[in-house]
């Protein structure tokens, strides 16, 4: 124990301030760890499937097209014709010229396979969509054509009075 009269030596003095850190050094390990964890998280949560797409040419002008398609295209065995009306109902043009109504996409694929076999396996599809039809239904008709093996697709937008059922 030290009394008031005694001199303190350097060994007896306790340094409460502590040693100062090195000048400007910062440990980067935690920051690098967090960066790698974020990188791993984003890589693992990213979708790895590549979406297939079908290129559809965009219209070149705002005006209606003056190009006409012959009326006998419905009887042409080189084409499968699918119509989508304003109520989003599918119609497949049969071999006998009668339209076959399809309630859903599964029925559409079945009817398209049957009509394709009846017509001699054509590789072209015409989709006549009413201007009020949902894009989802039009794309479903195009996808159904791709599923049954159609190579070429022609997309037409028609007005209500242009579609005959």
| 138 in a structural domain | yes
37 belongs to a structural domain:
no
Q: Is residue 112 part of a domain?
A: yes
pLDDT at 118: 86
Is position 42 within any domain?
Answer: no
Contact 157, 131 (CB under 8 A): yes
Structure tokens given for 126 = 């015409």
Whether the full predicted model's pTM is greater than 0.85, yes or no, is no
Cα–Cα distance list, 92 to 25, 99, 132 (Å): 74, 5, 18
Are 148 and 112 a contacting pair, CB within 8 Å? yes
Domain total in the chain: 1
On whether residue 139 sits in a domain, the answer given is yes
Full residue range of the structural domain in which residue 147 is found: 76-162
| pLDDT tens string 49-100 | 666 666 666 655 556 555 555 554 545 567 889 999 889 899 998 777 778 8
Q: Is residue 66 in some structural domain?
A: no
Instruction: Specify the 3-state DSSP secondary structure of 158.
Output: strand
Retrieve residue 1's tokens: 């124990």
Check which CATH number belongs to the domain holding 94 and give it: 3.30.420.40
Residue 55 lies in a domain: no
Q: Per the domain annotation, does 145 fall within a domain?
A: yes
Secondary structure, 3-state, 109-123? HHHHHHHHHHHCCCC
């Amino acid at each position: 124990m030290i009394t008031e009269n005694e001199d303190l030596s350097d060994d007896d003095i306790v340094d409460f301030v502590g040693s100062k850190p090195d000048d400007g050094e910062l440990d980067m390990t935690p920051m690098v760890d967090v960066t790698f964890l974020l990188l791993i998280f984003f890589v693992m949560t990213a979708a790895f499937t590549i979406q297939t797409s079908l290129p559809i040419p965009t219209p070149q002008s705002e005006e209606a097209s003056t190009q006409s398609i012959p009326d006998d295209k419905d009887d042409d065995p080189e084409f499968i014709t699918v119509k989508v009306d304003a109520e989003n109902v599918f119609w497949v043009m049969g071999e006998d010229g009668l339209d076959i109504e399809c309630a859903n996409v599964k029925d559409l694929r079945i009817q398209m396979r049957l009509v394709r076999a009846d017509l001699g396996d054509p590789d072209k599809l015409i989709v006549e969509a009413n201007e009020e039809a949902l894009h989802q239904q039009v794309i479903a008709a195009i996808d159904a054509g791709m599923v049954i093996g159609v190579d070429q697709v022609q997309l037409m937008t028609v007005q209500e009075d242009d579609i005959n059922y």
